[in-house]
Amino acid sequence: MLVAMLIARAALVLLVVAGCGRDKPAEARDKAHGEAHAEPRAEAPPAPGNAVQNEMRLLTEAMRDTVSAIGTGDLAPIPHRLHEVHKARDVTEQAIAGGTYKLPRNGENVAAFKALDEAFHAELEKLLLAARANDAAATAAAFSSVMSRCDGCHAQFRAPN
Ligand code: HEC
Protein backbone atom coordinates (compact mmCIF):
# COMPACT_ATOMS: atom_id res chain seq x y z
CA MET A 1 0.00 0.00 0.00
CA LEU A 2 2.76 2.41 0.97
CA VAL A 3 4.69 1.50 -2.17
CA ALA A 4 1.63 2.13 -4.32
CA MET A 5 1.20 5.57 -2.72
CA LEU A 6 4.83 6.46 -3.36
CA ILE A 7 4.58 5.44 -7.01
CA ALA A 8 1.42 7.51 -7.40
CA ARG A 9 3.16 10.52 -5.84
CA ALA A 10 6.18 10.12 -8.10
CA ALA A 11 3.91 9.96 -11.13
CA LEU A 12 2.20 13.16 -10.01
CA VAL A 13 5.55 14.94 -9.63
CA LEU A 14 6.55 13.81 -13.12
CA LEU A 15 3.30 15.13 -14.53
CA VAL A 16 3.80 18.51 -12.91
CA VAL A 17 7.40 18.78 -14.14
CA ALA A 18 6.48 17.72 -17.66
CA GLY A 19 3.74 20.31 -17.69
CA CYS A 20 6.11 23.16 -16.91
CA GLY A 21 5.29 25.17 -20.01
CA ARG A 22 6.84 22.70 -22.43
CA ASP A 23 3.71 22.51 -24.51
CA LYS A 24 3.50 26.30 -24.81
CA PRO A 25 5.20 28.22 -27.61
CA ALA A 26 8.70 29.48 -26.78
CA GLU A 27 7.56 33.07 -26.26
CA ALA A 28 4.94 32.16 -23.68
CA ARG A 29 7.45 29.90 -21.96
CA ASP A 30 9.94 32.78 -21.66
CA LYS A 31 7.21 34.88 -20.09
CA ALA A 32 6.35 32.09 -17.68
CA HIS A 33 10.01 31.85 -16.62
CA GLY A 34 10.47 35.57 -16.00
CA GLU A 35 11.60 38.27 -18.37
CA ALA A 36 14.99 39.17 -16.96
CA HIS A 37 16.95 37.44 -19.71
CA ALA A 38 14.84 39.03 -22.42
CA GLU A 39 16.31 42.44 -21.62
CA PRO A 40 19.34 43.52 -23.68
CA ARG A 41 22.66 42.88 -21.99
CA ALA A 42 24.71 45.92 -21.06
CA GLU A 43 27.91 46.27 -23.10
CA ALA A 44 31.13 45.73 -21.12
CA PRO A 45 32.51 49.17 -20.23
CA PRO A 46 35.71 50.15 -22.08
CA ALA A 47 38.90 49.41 -20.16
CA PRO A 48 40.11 52.48 -18.27
CA GLY A 49 43.45 54.09 -19.15
CA ASN A 50 45.58 54.16 -22.29
CA ALA A 51 46.80 51.19 -24.35
CA VAL A 52 49.95 50.60 -22.28
CA GLN A 53 48.14 50.97 -18.96
CA ASN A 54 45.63 48.39 -20.15
CA GLU A 55 48.40 46.03 -21.25
CA MET A 56 50.14 46.55 -17.90
CA ARG A 57 46.95 45.77 -16.00
CA LEU A 58 46.56 42.52 -17.94
CA LEU A 59 50.24 41.76 -17.43
CA THR A 60 49.98 42.31 -13.68
CA GLU A 61 46.93 40.03 -13.50
CA ALA A 62 48.73 37.40 -15.57
CA MET A 63 51.72 37.50 -13.20
CA ARG A 64 49.50 37.32 -10.14
CA ASP A 65 47.72 34.30 -11.60
CA THR A 66 51.05 32.74 -12.49
CA VAL A 67 52.08 32.91 -8.84
CA SER A 68 48.82 31.16 -7.91
CA ALA A 69 49.28 28.59 -10.66
CA ILE A 70 52.79 27.75 -9.51
CA GLY A 71 51.48 27.51 -5.96
CA THR A 72 48.62 25.14 -6.75
CA GLY A 73 50.59 23.17 -9.34
CA ASP A 74 47.91 23.75 -11.97
CA LEU A 75 49.65 25.64 -14.77
CA ALA A 76 46.73 25.44 -17.19
CA PRO A 77 45.43 29.04 -16.68
CA ILE A 78 48.76 30.65 -17.61
CA PRO A 79 48.65 30.40 -21.44
CA HIS A 80 45.24 32.04 -21.63
CA ARG A 81 46.34 34.94 -19.43
CA LEU A 82 49.45 35.48 -21.52
CA HIS A 83 47.38 35.40 -24.67
CA GLU A 84 45.37 38.35 -23.31
CA VAL A 85 48.62 40.27 -22.71
CA HIS A 86 49.76 39.43 -26.24
CA LYS A 87 46.56 40.81 -27.75
CA ALA A 88 46.93 43.99 -25.69
CA ARG A 89 50.50 44.34 -26.91
CA ASP A 90 49.25 44.45 -30.50
CA VAL A 91 47.01 47.38 -29.52
CA THR A 92 50.00 49.09 -27.85
CA GLU A 93 52.12 48.71 -30.97
CA GLN A 94 49.37 50.18 -33.14
CA ALA A 95 48.89 53.08 -30.72
CA ILE A 96 52.62 53.87 -30.75
CA ALA A 97 52.89 53.53 -34.54
CA GLY A 98 49.75 55.63 -35.07
CA GLY A 99 50.92 58.34 -32.68
CA THR A 100 47.91 58.00 -30.34
CA TYR A 101 50.15 56.88 -27.46
CA LYS A 102 53.24 58.69 -26.30
CA LEU A 103 55.56 57.19 -23.70
CA PRO A 104 55.42 59.25 -20.50
CA ARG A 105 59.23 59.47 -20.33
CA ASN A 106 61.92 59.37 -23.06
CA GLY A 107 59.10 59.45 -25.58
CA GLU A 108 61.56 60.27 -28.36
CA ASN A 109 63.36 56.98 -27.81
CA VAL A 110 60.74 54.63 -29.21
CA ALA A 111 63.39 52.36 -30.75
CA ALA A 112 64.89 51.58 -27.32
CA PHE A 113 61.44 50.94 -25.90
CA LYS A 114 60.64 48.54 -28.73
CA ALA A 115 63.89 46.65 -28.19
CA LEU A 116 63.15 46.25 -24.46
CA ASP A 117 59.59 45.28 -25.20
CA GLU A 118 60.73 42.70 -27.75
CA ALA A 119 63.15 41.11 -25.26
CA PHE A 120 60.49 41.17 -22.56
CA HIS A 121 57.91 39.42 -24.70
CA ALA A 122 60.47 36.79 -25.67
CA GLU A 123 60.68 35.98 -21.94
CA LEU A 124 56.89 35.82 -21.74
CA GLU A 125 57.04 33.35 -24.61
CA LYS A 126 59.37 31.13 -22.57
CA LEU A 127 56.93 31.31 -19.68
CA LEU A 128 54.14 30.30 -22.03
CA LEU A 129 56.04 27.31 -23.40
CA ALA A 130 57.06 26.12 -19.92
CA ALA A 131 53.45 26.33 -18.70
CA ARG A 132 52.18 24.53 -21.80
CA ALA A 133 54.74 21.79 -21.20
CA ASN A 134 53.39 21.60 -17.63
CA ASP A 135 56.95 22.05 -16.37
CA ALA A 136 56.66 23.66 -12.94
CA ALA A 137 60.39 24.27 -12.45
CA ALA A 138 60.84 25.88 -15.89
CA THR A 139 57.69 27.96 -15.32
CA ALA A 140 59.05 29.31 -12.03
CA ALA A 141 62.42 30.11 -13.65
CA ALA A 142 60.77 31.90 -16.59
CA PHE A 143 58.49 33.78 -14.20
CA SER A 144 61.50 34.98 -12.25
CA SER A 145 63.20 36.18 -15.43
CA VAL A 146 60.04 38.03 -16.54
CA MET A 147 59.66 39.76 -13.18
CA SER A 148 63.28 40.88 -13.16
CA ARG A 149 62.57 43.01 -16.26
CA CYS A 150 59.67 45.17 -15.11
CA ASP A 151 61.74 47.74 -13.33
CA GLY A 152 64.32 48.26 -16.10
CA CYS A 153 61.67 49.45 -18.52
CA HIS A 154 59.76 51.47 -15.94
CA ALA A 155 62.93 53.29 -14.92
CA GLN A 156 63.38 54.50 -18.49
CA PHE A 157 59.88 54.97 -19.82
CA ARG A 158 57.36 55.33 -17.03
CA ALA A 159 56.68 58.74 -15.52
CA PRO A 160 58.58 59.24 -12.27
CA ASN A 161 56.39 59.03 -9.19
C1 HEC B 1 59.05 47.31 -22.22
C2 HEC B 1 58.64 48.19 -21.18
C3 HEC B 1 57.87 47.68 -19.97
C4 HEC B 1 58.01 46.49 -19.31
C5 HEC B 1 58.96 45.36 -19.62
C6 HEC B 1 57.07 46.52 -18.22
N7 HEC B 1 56.36 47.69 -18.22
FE8 HEC B 1 54.90 48.20 -16.91
N9 HEC B 1 54.80 50.05 -17.77
C10 HEC B 1 55.51 50.46 -18.86
C11 HEC B 1 55.16 51.85 -19.19
C12 HEC B 1 55.70 52.68 -20.34
C13 HEC B 1 54.22 52.25 -18.21
C14 HEC B 1 53.55 53.63 -18.09
C15 HEC B 1 52.27 53.63 -18.89
C16 HEC B 1 51.58 54.99 -18.89
O17 HEC B 1 51.31 55.54 -17.81
O18 HEC B 1 51.31 55.50 -20.00
C19 HEC B 1 54.02 51.07 -17.34
C20 HEC B 1 53.14 51.07 -16.27
C21 HEC B 1 52.90 49.97 -15.47
C22 HEC B 1 51.91 49.93 -14.41
C23 HEC B 1 51.00 51.09 -14.01
C24 HEC B 1 49.78 51.04 -14.92
C25 HEC B 1 48.80 52.18 -14.68
O26 HEC B 1 47.59 51.93 -14.80
O27 HEC B 1 49.24 53.31 -14.44
C28 HEC B 1 51.96 48.69 -13.85
C29 HEC B 1 51.09 48.14 -12.74
C30 HEC B 1 52.97 47.93 -14.57
N31 HEC B 1 53.51 48.74 -15.55
C32 HEC B 1 53.30 46.63 -14.29
C33 HEC B 1 54.35 45.96 -14.91
C34 HEC B 1 54.83 44.66 -14.50
C35 HEC B 1 54.28 43.85 -13.34
C36 HEC B 1 55.86 44.35 -15.34
C37 HEC B 1 56.72 43.12 -15.35
C38 HEC B 1 56.08 41.84 -15.18
C39 HEC B 1 55.99 45.44 -16.28
N40 HEC B 1 55.07 46.40 -15.98
C41 HEC B 1 56.91 45.47 -17.32
C42 HEC B 1 56.40 49.72 -19.58
C43 HEC B 1 56.84 48.45 -19.26
Domain 53-157 fold: Four Helix Bundle (Hemerythrin (Met), subunit A) (1.20.120)
Taking the C-alpha atoms of residue 111 and residue 128, their distance in angstroms, rounded to an integer, is 25
Q: What is the SS3 assignment for 83?
A: helix
Minimal CA–CA distance to 128: which of 66, 36, 67? 66
pLDDT, tens digit, 9 for 90 and up, residues 106-131: 999 999 999 999 999 999 999 999 99
pLDDT, tens digit, 9 for 90 and up, residues 59-85: 999 999 999 999 999 999 999 999 999
Say if CB 105 and CB 158 are below 8 A apart.
yes
pLDDT, tens digit, 9 for 90 and up, residues 16-48: 444 444 444 544 444 444 444 455 556 666 667
Sequence-distant (6+) residues with CB within 8 A of 127 are 66, 78, 82, 139, 142, 143, 146
Q: What is the number of alpha carbons within 13 Å of residue 146 lying toward its C-beta?
A: 23
Protein residue whose Cα sits closest to atom 13 of ligand 1 = 158
Confidence (pLDDT) at 12: 44
149 lines ligand 1 (CB under 6 A): yes
For a ligand 1 pocket test, name from 65, 158, 161 the mutation site with the most ligand atoms within 8 angstroms of its C-beta. Answer: 158
